[in-house]
Structure 1
Amino acid sequence: MPVFTETIDLPAAPPFDLAPSLRFVCGFTPTSGEQSVRDGALTKALRARGRTVVAQIAQAGDGVRLTLHAADPFTPDVVEAAADRVRFHLSLDDDLTAFYALGRDDPGFAPVLDRLHGYHQVKFPTPLENLAWAILSQRTPIAAAAKAKRALAAEFGDRLTVDGTEHTAFPDIGQLVTLPEGRVVELTGNQRKGGHLHGALHRWHETDEDFLRTGPYAEVKEFLLGLPGVGPWSANFILIRGLGRMDETPVEKALLGAASRAYGRALTEAGLRKLAERYGPWQGYWAHYLRAAA
C-alpha cells in the first residue's frame, strides 16, 4: 500500500525541549507500547477528521518538525486536525514564563525546573483516551486496563505501517459511539465498567472538545463529574492530564511522596496544599513536574 507524506513545522512557546517529553512518554504506563521513540523522534498513530494518520515528531529549532503519513492523499483539513492534535498532545502552546518565574523563587522546586527545563506537559494523546483510561483503570491491575484499552483500539483496525512498523490509533468518538453497550462490556471484560464507559462515551459525543479545552473551569469539571463512572479523582485526572487544565492539585500518595523528596522533608497533606497555593493557576504544572521528576 502506498503511503502519502506531508511535513510541517510547528512552533513551541519557549523554552521548549522535546527530549524530556520523549523520556516521559517512554515511562508513561497508560500508553506503553502504543508509540515508538527512536533517534530523538516520537512516532505515533492518531485519528484526524475520520482518517488514520501516523505522526513522526522530532525537534526542529525551538519547535518540532511533524511528518505525517497516511494511506490516502492529504487534504488541508486533515493536516490541520493532525497538527492540532499533536500540538495539544505535547502542549506546544503552553507559555511557561510565569510558572518558571515562580519556580525559580522556590528553593525546593528550582532543582526540579533545572532537571526538566523546557518540558511541556505530555498529555494523553486525546482527552477521550484519558476518559477511557480513567474508567478502565479504576481498582484494576494496570495490565487488565491496558488489555481492555487495546481491545477497543483493535475493534476498529485503525492501523498503518510506516518504515516496517505497524501503528494503531485509538478510536475517535464517532467510532466508539457505534458500539452497542453489550459489545463495550465484552471488549472491556467488565459489566460495570463497560456500562459506565458506554454511557460516558455517549455523553462525551454530545459536547464539544473546544468547550472542554477552553470553557469555564467549573462548568467543564461539572460536566466531567456528570459522566457515568467519573468521580472527583477521575475528573481532576482528565482535567490535568487530558485537557491541560491546571487550576487544581488533587492530593494523592504519589504526589505527596514526590514533593517530600523534592523539598527534603516529610510533607503532610496540609503542607502540600500550602506549597501548591503559591503556584495559583500553575499548581497543576507544579504537581506534574514533581511527579515527572520523581
Structure 2
Amino acid sequence: MTTPPHLLRPVSPFDFAQTLAFVSGFTPTSDEQKLEAQSLAKAVRIHRQTVGFDLHSVGTLDAPELRCYLFGNAPLNSEIKEAALKRVRFFLSLDEDLGPFYALAQQDVPFQRVLRQLYGYHQVKFLTPFENACWAVLTQRTPGDTARGMKRRLVDTYGGSVQIGNSVLWAFPEPADLAGASVAELRTLLKHPRKGESLAAVVQAFGQVEEEWLRQGPLSEVRAWLRGIYGFGEWSANFVLLRGLGRMEGAVLDDPDSVFTRELMNAAAKVYGPMSFEALSAHAHRYVVCQGYWAHYLRVAA
C-alpha cells in the first residue's frame, strides 16, 4: 500500500547522484536496496512494522528536492509515516548545512581535489544507529563476506520485508524485534559465541536508550555510554558516533594506536602525503566542529 508522495527539500548544495554513488559502493548494505539512475528504494523497521521508501530526485544541486513514496504491507498511520520521513531525512543527512565545512575546506589546498570530487555529498549514514552498532560487532576481526552472512541471517530471522515491483526490500530489525532472542539463540544464529554475547549486549543497551539523547546528548557522555557496551572499544564507539549518529563535532584523532586512526591516516596520506599522527591531528583541529565531515570525505574519496 503506497501513500501519496511527500516532497523532501534537502539543504543545498545536495547532489543525489553522490548519494547513489556512495550507497552503490557501501558493502555493509550490499543488495539491501534498489538503485536506479535517479532513485533509491529501501526498507526500515518502525514500531515493529516494515516501511518501504522510494526516493526520486526532482530538483537540482542548488534547489534540491526529493519525491518520497512510502509503502508497506499494511496501511501506514500518521505516526508511522512521520517517523519514516524523519528517518529518511536523518539517514541521508538532508538537514545538514555543508556551508561551514566547505568554508573551512576552501583554506585547505590539498583537500580541494576531494571537495571537487564529492561536492554536494551529504553523509549517508547507516539507516539506524542500532544497525550500525550491530554491524560494528559483526565486522570486528571478521572478513566482510562472513560479517554480511551473519547480518543476512539476522535480517531473515528477525527483520521484515516489503515488495516494490519485482524486488523485495529487507529491513534490519529494531531492538524490539530482537528483545526476545536469548544469548544462546544469537550465538547459534551467528555461529560465533563471543559475537552472540556482544550482540545481545547491543540489543539490551539500545532497547533502553532514547535515540534522541544519542544524537543530541553531551558527546563525552554518549561516547562513554557506547564504550560501556560489552564488546565495544574506541573504534566501535567512533564508528557509531560518526556513521550511525552523525556526531561530526568531536575530535577524530585521539589515539595514535587505534584502528580508526590508522585507517584515517592511510586515507589522508593519499591527499596530503605521509604525515605524523601529531601533524595530522593538528590539521584535523583546523576543521573545529567539522572534523567528522573532513574525516568522512577523506575516507570516501580514498
Q: TM-score range by the shorter chain?
A: over 0.9
Measure, in 2, the Cα distance between the counterparts of 1:191 and 1:18. 41
Alignment match of 1:20 (pick from 5, 18, 21):
18
Alignment of 1:1-294 (within 5 A): 3-61=1-59, 62-246=64-248, 247-250=250-253, 251-263=260-272, 265-294=273-302
CA distance in 1, matches of 2:231, 2:37: 40
Unpaired segments ≥5 residues, structure 2: 254-259
Q: SS of 1:95's equivalent?
A: coil
Alpha-carbon distance between aligned partners in 1 of 2:50 and 2:173, rounded to the nearest angstrom: 9
Aligned CA RMSD, in angstroms, stands at 1.2
Give the letter for the 2:267 counterpart: A
Equivalents in 1 of 2:278, 2:38: separation in Å? Answer: 40
Q: Which amino acid aligns with 1:269?
A: F
1:5 and 1:70 in contact (8 A); partners too:
no
| Whole-angstrom CA distance in 1 between matches of 2:297 and 2:66 | 21
Deviations 1:55-96 (A, max 9, x none): 111223213211111112221111111111111110111111
Asked whether the 8 Å contact 1:6–1:69 carries over to 2, the reply is: no
Amino acid of the residue matched to residue 6 of structure 1? Answer: P
Deviations 1:135-180 (A, max 9, x none): 1111111111111111111013511111111111001111111211
Q: Return the offset for 1:200.
A: 2.1
Deviation at 1:49, TM superposition (A): 2.7
Q: Mind listing any 5+ residue stretches in structure 1 that lack a counterpart?
A: none
1:112-157 deviation per Cα after TM superposition (whole angstroms, max 9, x unaligned): 1111111000001110000000011111111111111111110135
Following the alignment from structure 2 to structure 1, what is the Cα–Cα distance between the partners of residues 206 and 161? Answer: 24
Number of aligned positions between the proteins: 291
1:87 and 1:93 in contact (8 A); partners too: yes
Deviation at 1:101, TM superposition (A): 0.2
Distance 1:64 1:271 in 2: 41
Q: TM-score, normalised by structure 2?
A: 0.93
Residue by residue over 1:214-257, the C-alpha shift from the partner in whole angstroms, topping out at 9 and shown as x without a partner, is 11101111110111111111000000000000112145333212
CA contact (8 A) 1:17 1:59 kept: no
Q: Secondary structure at the match of 1:4?
A: coil
- Tell me, what secondary structure is at the counterpart of 1:110? helix
Per-residue CA deviation, residues 248-287 of structure 1 (Å, 9 max, x unaligned), is: 2145333212212112x21222221111010011011001
CA distance in 2, matches of 1:288, 1:270: 19
Query: 1:128·1:173 contact (CA, 8 Å) conserved in 2?
Result: yes
Report the residue type matching 2:265 in the other structure: L
Q: Which residue identity is paired with 1:47?
A: R
